[in-house]
């Protein structure tokens, strides 16, 4: 019979590893979504599209979050108006 003391580290690592992997996958999916959204929907006037793509690529999640909060709502208002 396996003692609980030997099973505890295995269970703990499993319950830490699985949520961490899910979080990393969610962050990557969000980053990829913002990158594709910027590449497809951002107007090609001037250098805005290139600058936003570079910001998203080089700052990873933070750049994607900045794009999501700052530029995406502004662009959606411009297309509605």
CA-based angle 39:55:43, to the nearest 5? 35
Q: Are 55 and 63 in contact (CB under 8 A)?
A: yes
Determine contact, residues 42/49, Cβ cutoff 8 Å.
yes
Q: 6-24: per-residue pLDDT in tens?
A: 767 777 777 788 889 999 9
Tokens 């107007």, residue located: 43
State the burial class of residue 22 (Cβ atoms within 10 Å of its Cβ: 0-12, 13-18, 19+). Answer: exposed
d(CA 25, CA 16): 15
pTM over 0.85: no
49 vs 35: CA distance, rounded Å: 10
Separation between Cα atoms, residue 7 and residue 79, nearest integer Å: 57
Residue 2 has pLDDT above 80, yes or no: no
pLDDT at 1: 53
Domain boundaries, given as residue ranges, for the chain: 4-80
Q: For position 12, what pLDDT does the model report?
A: 74
């Amino acid at each position: 019979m396996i003692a609980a003391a030997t099973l505890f580290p295995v269970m703990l690592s499993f319950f830490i590893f699985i949520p961490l992997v899910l979080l990393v996958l969610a962050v990557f999916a969000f980053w990829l979504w913002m990158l594709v959204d910027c590449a497809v929907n951002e107007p090609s006037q001037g250098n805005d599209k290139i600058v936003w793509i570079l910001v998203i690529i080089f700052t990873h999640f933070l750049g994607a979050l900045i794009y999501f909060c700052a530029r995406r709502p502004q662009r959606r208002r411009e297309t509605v108006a």
